[in-house]
C-alpha cells in the first residue's frame, strides 16, 4: 500500500520564497497536500503543482508538525574548468520541515535569480531501506506554452528534438525547455542525480507534467537509505532564451569538489581514430581496415603534436570487438596485436601528447565492473589520464540505462577513475546534472545525437543544432565530436568506398556548411573537445588554424544572442584570447553582434571563419582577418545551415 | 696599343641566322668590322651594332680567313630543381670563325625562339695571358623604346628600378628590359659569367648601349688565358612581357651540371633569426638582445618542425660581429658562447630540420678564402647542407664586387661548397647568369633590393615589386626573403622598441598588403624560400597555412599575365599541387585568370588568400576556400599594393 509522505500540512497561509533580485517567487501552499507554484516577473510560470514521493509501506503517521526554515546564501566559488571558472552563487531558501515519530521529511526550496529548485530529504528513524514506488512532483505549466525536448526514454537520449505545443507533449526527457505565451523562458531539469533514477516528464492532464522515474526490472523506482536526499528538481527561468544558457544554477545546486588535488584534471583538444569506423571505411576489429594500428597511432600523435592538440583517442584498440552482435565481451587490458600499446604510450609521452583509453562495454555492466579496477591500474601505469567509455547496448538483467542501477554504475566509474587519476568522457551516459562540480574528473559526455548520426542516419539538421544549446547543453558539457571538414565524405568515398556497416545510408553527409562545423567547436561546450574528422581532411586546410588556436580550457563564456531552433551566438574567453561561435538553422541570417565583451582599449586581430557569400557548396569558406576593438559591431552573415567562428587575438 | 680583334671581315654578303620558328633573325654583316642586327617578327629590334673585344698588344694579323659554320641543336634536358625541371632547348647557330697565324677567333651566335645570344671565343697560339682592356659589343636599340633597369654600378645591385625612355639611360646594369615602340619586349643580359667581369651597359650615342666591363684596380678589365670564351651576351625577346619570364634561354646557354651526384641538393623552405636584426630589435653581436641564442634556435627549430618548413637560419651565430664598422674580421668556425652549435646541430638533426650556416665576410675576401676550407669542413661535420654568404662591405684592395676578382671568388666558394656538400645562398652576390645549371648547389642569391630595405629605408614599393619579375628575376632565383605578416611592425615596436640601428627610419613599414606578402612566395622564385618574419607573427595566423602548404621544390612554372611595373600573375606546380601568385602596383586591379593550367577533369580545392575588399588596413585578409576545375576562370581582385595567392589541392 502506497503512502504519500508530506501529505498533511498545517500551513495557515502560503509561504513565499523570493529570489535575491525578487524577480522570481515560489509560493508553497497546501491544505491536505503540499504544493508549490512559481511566478516570474509577477507572471505565473508554474501554477500550483503537487509535491511528494511514494514510499512503499511507510508513513509519517498522523502527528506531523511542520516548521518553515528560511535561509539566505551568497558566495562565489571557482572550479578547475568549466564554461566559467568563477561562479557567483546566491539564493534564498525555504525548507518545509515535517516531523513526526517516524522521523523528519523536508521539502527544500531554493530561489535563485536564474531559477528555482526543490528536493525531498528524509531521515527516518527505523534505518531500514526505503522502497520508492513513485514521485509525485508535478509541473503545472501554462497552457499554450511552446516546448522543446526529446521523448521520455529511459534507455537513450539520442533522439530528434521535438518543438511541440505543450498540449502535444505526451512524455519528455529533461532538460525540457519551454516558452510561455507571456514570453518567459524556462527549462525543467534536475541537479545532483546520485543513487536514484533519472526523472522524465509525463503528461497527466491538460498542462500538467508529472515526474516519471526510470524503474528497476521489478517495477520499483529506487531502493534508498532511511536518510536520503533526492536530486534537485530544477526550473531555470530567464527573460530570453540565451538567459537559460548563461545560468549556473545546476552547478550551484551541486556540492563542492570531493577531489582534493585537481591539478591533473586538464581540459584538452583531441583527435582520434573514430570517424572512419562510423563512415564504414575503417573497422574497430582487427583486419585489413583496422583503424587503431600502431602506424595510425604514430600518425595521429605526430599530427596532434604539430597542431597544438593535447590528446589522442584510439577506438578499437582492445580485444573484444569481434564479439559484437552477440554476447558482448571485451578485454579492457589487452590491445589488439597490431596496436603496440607500450610503444604507443611511450611515443605519446615523449611527444607530450595525452594518450586516451577507450572502454566500450556494450552494456555488459557486470563484466566491466569486475574488470575496471585492474584496467584502470593498467592505464595509470601507462601514463593515461583520460578514458572514454561507451555503453552501446542493452544492460544485462533488463536494467534500464537511466535507472537507479545505471546511475549507480556510472557513478562508480567516476569515483574509481578519480582514484586512478582518470578523466571521464562517457558515451551513452546518464544525463549531466552538474555532478562535474563535485567530481571534476567527470569531464564530458554524449547524451544526445552527436556527430556519428551524420554517418549513418538522415543526420543532424542545422535546426537540430539550433535547439541543442537550449536543451541538452543546458545540462552541461557534451562530447558532440564536432568539426567534420569533408562535408560529403568525398575523400572517404574516393579512398576506398564505404563498408556496408550500417545499412543503406551511403549518401548521407554533414548537414551544415563547413563554417558551421568550425563554429560548433565554440557553441557546443566540452572541456574535452574533439576535431572529429580524419586528420588527412585537416592537413593543409586553411580553416584548421581555428582549431590550432582554439583553447578547450576557457575561463569565461556568454551566450550573446539566440532564438531556440533559429540561431545561437556564443562567446568564450581563454586567457587573452576570445572565441565566438554563431550558427543558424536552415535559413540564411545576418546578425549584428556587439564586441563589447572584448577588453576595452585593446586591439585584437579577428580571424573570422565564415560562409562564402553566394556559394552553394557547403565546403566553401571565407576567412577574414582584420583588426577590431570592443566598441566594434561584427556583422555575422550566415548561409542556410551556416555559421561563423572567430578567434580574437590581442595585437597590442 | 689596343687592337680590335675580328676587325677585318671578308663577308661578301650578310649572313642570316634564324630561330627554329623563324620568327627571330640575326643578320651578321660587316665591311671592316663585324656587326650584327636582330629582327623579331620582321621588325628591327637591334640595328647594326658593333662587336669585338680589345686585347692589349695582341693582333690577329692581316692574313685573316673567315668561315661561317652553321649548326642546329635540339634537345630536352632536366635539372634537379628550378622553375621548370624539364626544359626544351632548340636553337640554330652561326659561328664566324676567323683564323690567322696568331690563332683562331670565333664570334658565335645562337638564335632561339625566345631570344638570341653571342659570345667571343679565341684560341691564340702563343699561350700567354691576355689582357682585356675593353669589350666593343654594342646594342643599337630602337629610338623611343621604354626601358626598365637599375644603374650600372659595379658594386651593388641594390638600387631602385628606373622606368626610362632609352634616351634618358646613361648607364644600366642587366637584365636591361625594354619595349620597342613597335611593341616587342626584350631584355639584355649575359649567360655563363665565369672568370670575367660583369657586363654593364653605357650609352655611347643616341640609341646605342655599349658593354662596359667592371675593371680591376689597375684599370684592366680582365686577365684571361689564350684559349677562352667570354660569357654570352643575351637578348631575350618576346611578344609580351610575361614571355620574357617564360624564357629558359639563359639556362640553355649554360653547360650541364658538373656535380655528378645532386641527390643532396634539395629546395627548401626556411625561417630564421634575421628580420629582428634589420628591425633593430635584435642584434647580430652577443648581448641582451642577441638573436642567435640556443634558446631561440630551439624555438625556431621547433617551429619549423611543426610547420612543414625544412630549414632554419641563424645570423649572428659566430664571433666577429663586434668588429663591424672597422676592419671586418670573423671567425667562421667559432660560435658565440650563447649559441651551443653542437647541441643545436644535433637538435635540428633529431627533429629532421636542416640547420643553415651563415658566413658574413664583410667583404674581407682574403680572410674568407683562407678560412673557408676549414669552415666548410666544420659545417660538413655538423651535418649542415646550406650556407648563406654575405659581402656587406667594400672588398679589400680596391676590387669592385663585380670585377673579375669578385666573379672568381664567388665561383671558388660555389665549387668548394660543392665539394663539402653545401648549397649556397649568396647575398651581395654576383648577378645570376644561369650557372645554377652547371653548379646546381648555387641555389639562390640576393642581387636586388630585398625585404631588408623595408626595415631601414623608404622601402620597396608595390611598383618596384611589379618591375622585379621582368628585370632582376629574369636572371634567376632571388632570395628576396618574402612574407612579413606584421606589416607595420606593431609587435616589434610594442615588444621593446627598436634600436636606432640604421638611422631615422623608425616609421617605415611594409609597403604592400598582407595578401601580397603571401603572393610574393609564389611570384619571387627561389629554391630556398624564406618566411622572413619573426615566428611569433606567424603563430596562430590563419594565413600562415599558405606557407605550410607551399612547396619550394616546384616542377613547372608559367607567368600567366603581366605588364611591367603594373601587375604580374604566376602559376607553379609542385607534385599534385598548384600555386598561383598575383600582385598589382599602387593601383587596385581586377584580373580574370583562366585556370586552364590545372589538370583537366580534376576537382581542386582552391584556398585563395586575397585582400579584404574595402579595407584600408593592409593586414586585413580574406581567405576563400572553394572547389574549382580547369575550365573555371578565377576573378582576382586586388587592392592598391595588393595581391592574391592560391593553393590548389586535388580533392579527387
DSSP bridge pairs for B164: B147
CA distances from B159 to B150, B447, B479, B650 (A): 6, 9, 16, 41
Please answer whether residues A408 and A162 qualify as being in contact, where contact means their C-beta atoms are separated by less than 8 angstroms: no
Give the model's pLDDT for residue B500.
54
Write the ipTM: 0.84
User: Is A101 an 8 Å CB contact of chain B?
Assistant: no
Give the model's pLDDT for residue B4.
38
Task: Choose among A307, A626, A651: nearest Cβ to B490.
Answer: A651
8 Å CB contact of B619 and A626: yes
Other Cβ atoms within 10 Å of B574 Cβ, number: 17
Of B441, B392, B447, whose CA–CA distance to B415 is shortest? B441
Task: Give the whole-angstrom CA distance, residue A250 versus residue A117.
Answer: 9
User: Is A600 an 8 Å CB contact of chain B?
Assistant: no
User: Is B612 an 8 Å CB contact of chain A?
Assistant: yes
The per-residue pLDDT for range B223-282, each reduced to its tens digit, is 999 999 999 999 999 999 999 999 999 999 999 999 999 999 999 999 999 999 998 889
CA B599 to chain centre: 30
Rounded (10°) angle between helices A365-381 and A404-419: 10
Q: Whose grid coordinates read 554517418? A: A455
Task: Choose among A305, A540, A612: nearest Cβ to B624.
Answer: A612
User: Is A623 an 8 Å CB contact of chain B?
Assistant: yes
8 Å CB contact of B619 and A605: yes
Residues of A in contact with B609 (CB under 8 A): 542
Chain B's closest residue to A615, CA to CA, is B626
User: Is B113 an 8 Å CB contact of chain A?
Assistant: no
8 Å CB contact of B490 and A652: yes
8 Å CB contact of A545 and B542: yes
Percent of chain B with pLDDT over 70: 95
Task: Give the whole-angstrom CA distance, residue B384 versus residue B443.
Answer: 15
Across B539-564, average pLDDT: 96
Strand residues in A470-602 grouped as ranges (E): 528-530, 556-563, 567-574, 577-584, 589-594
All structural domains of chain B with their residue ranges: 2-252, 459-525+555-652
8 Å CB contact of B619 and A627: yes
User: Is A2 an 8 Å CB contact of chain B?
Assistant: no
Task: Give the whole-angstrom CA distance, residue B449 versus residue B162.
Answer: 13
8 Å CB contact of A622 and B624: yes
**Of all helices (H) and strands (E), which one includes residue A355?**
strand A354-360
Q: How confident is the model at residue B507 (pLDDT cuts 50, 70, 90)?
A: low
Name the maximum alpha-carbon separation found in chain B: 77
8 Å CB contact of B605 and A619: yes
Residues of B in contact with A651 (CB under 8 A): 490-491
8 Å CB contact of B544 and A545: yes
Task: Choose among A543, A546, A624: nearest Cβ to B622.
Answer: A624
User: Is A351 an 8 Å CB contact of chain B?
Assistant: no
8 Å CB contact of B612 and A624: yes
Nearest CA of chain B to the CA of A493: how many Å? Answer: 10
Task: Choose among A306, A620, A625: nearest Cβ to B621.
Answer: A625
User: What are the phi and psi torsion angles at B342 (to 5°)?
Assistant: -60, -50
Chain A's closest residue to B612, CA to CA, is A624
CA B335 to chain centre: 30
User: Is A56 an 8 Å CB contact of chain B?
Assistant: no
Task: Give the whole-angstrom CA distance, residue B588 versus residue B515.
Answer: 13
Q: How do B185-191 and B232-238 pair as beta strands?
A: antiparallel
CB pairs under 8 A between A and B: 101
Q: How confident is the model at residue B116 (pLDDT cuts 50, 70, 90)?
A: very high
Percent of chain B with pLDDT over 90: 89
Task: Give the whole-angstrom CA distance, residue B97 versus residue B282.
Answer: 59
Chain A's closest residue to B536, CA to CA, is A651
Residues of B in contact with A612 (CB under 8 A): 624-626
The per-residue pLDDT for range B320-352, each reduced to its tens digit, is 999 887 777 899 999 999 999 999 999 999 999
Give the model's pLDDT for residue A2.
32
Task: Give the whole-angstrom CA distance, residue B399 versus residue B389.
Answer: 18
Mutate to test the interface with A, among B496, B542, B601, B621 (most CBs of A within 10 A): B542
Between residues 512 and 541 of chain A, which touch chain B (CB distance below 8 Å)?
514, 540-541
Q: What angle do CA A365, A370, A376 make, to 5 degrees?
A: 100
For chain B, what is the mean pLDDT?
A: 94
Residues of B in contact with A615 (CB under 8 A): 626
Nearest CA of chain A to the CA of B249: how many Å? Answer: 35
Across B573-598, average pLDDT: 98
8 Å CB contact of A545 and B541: yes
| 3.30.1640.10, 3.90.920.10, 3.40.50.720, 2.70.98.10: CATH of A2-252 | 2.70.98.10
Chain A's closest residue to B649, CA to CA, is A540
Nearest CA of chain B to the CA of A157: how many Å? Answer: 36
Give the model's pLDDT for residue B457.
84
The per-residue pLDDT for range B192-228, each reduced to its tens digit, is 999 999 999 999 998 999 999 999 999 999 999 999 9
Chain A's closest residue to B543, CA to CA, is A542
- Across the beta sheet with B2-4, the strand order is B2-4, B53-56, B130-135, B222-224
Domain A459-525+555-652 in this protein, CATH class: alpha beta
Q: What angle do CA A344, A350, A353 make, to 5 degrees?
A: 75
Percent of chain A with pLDDT over 70: 95
User: Is A620 an 8 Å CB contact of chain B?
Assistant: yes
Nearest CA of chain A to the CA of B589: how many Å? Answer: 20
Nearest CA of chain A to the CA of B608: how many Å? Answer: 9
pTM: 0.90
Between residues 235 and 274 of chain B, which touch chain A (CB distance below 8 Å)?
none
Residues of A in contact with B615 (CB under 8 A): 626
User: Is B494 an 8 Å CB contact of chain A?
Assistant: yes
User: What are the phi and psi torsion angles at B519 (to 5°)?
Assistant: -60, -30
The per-residue pLDDT for range A488-531, each reduced to its tens digit, is 877 666 655 655 555 445 566 899 999 999 999 999 999 999 99
| Positive or negative torsion for Cα A339, A342, A345, A346 | negative
Q: A159: which 3 cell numbers? A: 533522439
**Of all helices (H) and strands (E), which one includes residue B366?**
helix B365-381
8 Å CB contact of A621 and B625: yes
The per-residue pLDDT for range A9-50, each reduced to its tens digit, is 454 579 999 999 999 999 999 756 799 999 999 999 999 999
The per-residue pLDDT for range B172-196, each reduced to its tens digit, is 999 999 999 999 999 999 999 999 9
8 Å CB contact of B620 and A626: yes
CA A195 to chain centre: 19
User: Is B627 an 8 Å CB contact of chain A?
Assistant: yes
Nearest CA of chain A to the CA of B205: how many Å? Answer: 54
Residues of B in contact with A542 (CB under 8 A): 542-543, 545-546, 607, 609, 623, 625
- Across the beta sheet with A222-224, the strand order is A2-4, A53-56, A130-135, A222-224
Residues 6+ apart with CB under 8 A from B639: B513, B588, B611, B612, B613, B615
Residues of A in contact with B617 (CB under 8 A): 626-627
Q: Mean pLDDT, 10 residues at a time, over chain A (652 residues)? A: 38 86 94 87 96 93 90 96 98 96 96 98 95 98 98 97 97 98 97 98 96 98 98 98 98 98 98 93 94 98 95 98 85 98 98 98 96 98 98 93 98 98 98 98 98 90 98 98 90 59 61 97 98 95 95 98 98 98 98 98 96 94 95 98 97 76
Give the model's pLDDT for residue B63.
86
Amino acid at each position: 500500500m502506497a503512502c504519500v509522505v508530506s501529505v498533511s500540512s498545517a500551513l495557515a497561509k502560503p509561504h513565499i520564497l523570493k529570489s535575491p533580485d525578487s524577480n522570481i517567487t515560489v509560493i508553497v501552499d497546501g491544505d491536505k497536500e503540499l504544493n508549490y507554484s512559481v511566478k516570474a516577473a509577477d507572471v505565473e510560470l508554474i501554477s500550483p503543482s503537487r509535491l511528494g514521493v511514494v514510499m512503499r509501506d511507510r508513513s509519517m503517521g498522523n502527528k506531523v508538525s511542520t516548521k518553515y526554515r528560511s535561509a539566505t546564501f551568497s558566495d562565489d566559488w571557482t572550479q578547475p574548468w568549466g564554461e566559467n571558472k568563477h561562479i557567483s552563487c546566491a539564493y534564498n531558501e525555504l525548507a518545509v520541515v515535517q516531523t513526526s515519530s517516524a522521523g523528519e521529511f523536508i521539502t527544500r526550496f531554493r530561489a535563485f535569480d536564474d531559477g528555482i529548485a526543490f528536493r525531498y530529504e528524509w531521515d527516518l528513524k527505523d534505518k531500514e531501506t526505503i522502497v520508492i514506488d513513485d514521485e509525485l512532483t508535478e509541473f503545472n505549466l501554462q497552457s499554450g506554452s511552446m516546448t522543446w525536448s526529446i521523448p521520455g526514454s529511459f534507455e537513450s537520449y539520442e533522439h530528434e528534438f521535438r518543438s511541440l505545443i505543450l498540449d502535444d507533449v505526451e512524455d519528455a526527457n529533461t532538460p525540457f525547455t519551454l516558452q510561455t505565451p507571456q514570453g518567459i523562458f524556462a527549462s525543467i531539469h534536475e541537479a545532483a542525480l546520485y543513487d536514484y533514477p533519472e526523472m522524465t516528464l509525463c503528461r497527466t492532464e491538460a498542462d500538467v507534467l508529472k515526474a516519471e522515474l526510470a524503474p528497476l526490472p521489478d517495477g520499483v523506482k529506487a531502493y534508498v537509505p532511511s536518510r536520503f536526499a533526492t536530486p534537485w528538481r530544477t526550473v531555470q527561468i530567464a527573460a530570453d532564451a540565451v538567459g537559460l544558457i548563461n545560468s549556473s544554477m545546476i552547478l550551484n545546486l551541486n556540492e563542492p569538489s570531493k577531489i582534493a588535488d585537481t591539478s591533473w584534471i586538464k581540459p584538452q583538444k583531441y583527435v582520434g581514430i573514430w570517424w572512419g569506423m562510423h563512415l564504414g571505411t575503417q573497422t574497430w576489429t582487427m583486419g585489413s581496415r583496422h583503424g587503431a594500428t600502431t602506424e595510425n597511432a604514430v600518425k595521429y600523435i605526430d599530427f596532434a603534436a604539430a597542431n597544438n592538440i593535447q590528446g589522442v583517442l584510439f577506438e578499437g584498440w582492445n580485444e573484444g570487438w569481434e564479439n559484437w552482435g552477440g554476447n558482448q565481451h571485451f578485454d579492457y587490458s589487452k590491445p589488439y596485436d597490431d596496436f603496440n600499446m607500450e610503444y604507443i604510450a611511450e611515443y605519446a609521452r615523449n611527444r607530450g601528447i595525452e594518450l586516451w583509453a577507450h572502454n566500450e562495454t556494450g552494456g555488459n555492466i557486470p563484466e566491466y565492473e569486475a574488470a575496471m579496477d585492474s584496467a584502470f591500474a593498467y592505464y595509470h601505469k601507462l601514463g593515461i589520464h583520460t578514458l572514454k567509455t561507451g555503453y552501446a547496448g542493452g544492460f544485462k538483467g533488463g536494467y534500464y540505462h537511466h535507472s537507479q542501477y545505471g546511475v549507480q554504475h556510472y557513478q562508480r566509474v567516476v569515483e574509481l577513475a578519480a582514484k586512478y587519476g582518470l578523466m571521464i568522457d562517457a558515451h551513452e551516459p546518464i544525463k549531466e546534472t552538474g555532478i562535474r562540480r563535485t567530481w571534476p574528473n567527470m569531464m564530458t559526455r554524449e547524451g544526445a545525437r552527436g556527430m556519428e548520426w551524420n554517418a549513418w542516419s538522415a543526420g543532424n539538421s542545422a535546426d537540430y543544432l539550433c535547439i541543442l544549446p537550449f536543451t541538452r547543453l543546458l545540462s552541461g558539457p557534451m562530447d558532440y565530436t564536432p568539426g567534420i571538414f569533408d562535408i560529403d565524405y568525398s575523400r572517404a568515398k574516393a579512398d576506398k568506398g564505404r563498408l556496408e556497416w550500417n545499412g543503406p545510408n551511403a549518401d548521407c553527409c554533414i548537414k551544415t556548411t563547413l563554417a558551421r562545423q568550425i563554429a560548433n567547436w565554440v557553441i557546443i561546450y566540452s572541456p574535452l573537445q574533439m576535431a572529429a574528422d580524419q586528420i588527412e581532411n585537416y592537413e593543409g586546410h586553411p580553416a584548421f588554424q581555428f582549431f590550432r588556436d582554439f583553447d578547450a580550457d576557457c575561463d569565461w563564456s556568454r551566450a550573446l544572442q539566440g532564438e531556440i531552433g533559429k540561431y545561437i551566438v556564443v562567446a568564450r574567453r581563454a586567457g587573452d584570447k576570445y572565441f565566438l561561435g554563431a550558427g543558424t538553422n536552415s535559413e540564411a541570417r545576418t546578425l549584428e553582434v556587439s564586441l563589447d565583451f572584448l577588453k576595452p582599449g585593446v586591439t585584437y586581430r579577428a580571424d573570422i571563419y565564415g560562409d562564402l557569400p553566394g556559394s552553394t557548396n557547403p565546403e566553401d569558406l571565407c576567412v577574414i582577418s582584420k583588426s577590431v576593438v570592443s566598441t566594434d559591431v561584427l556583422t555575422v552573415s550566415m548561409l542556410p545551415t551556416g555559421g561563423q567562428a572567430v578567434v580574437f587575438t590581442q595585437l597590442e
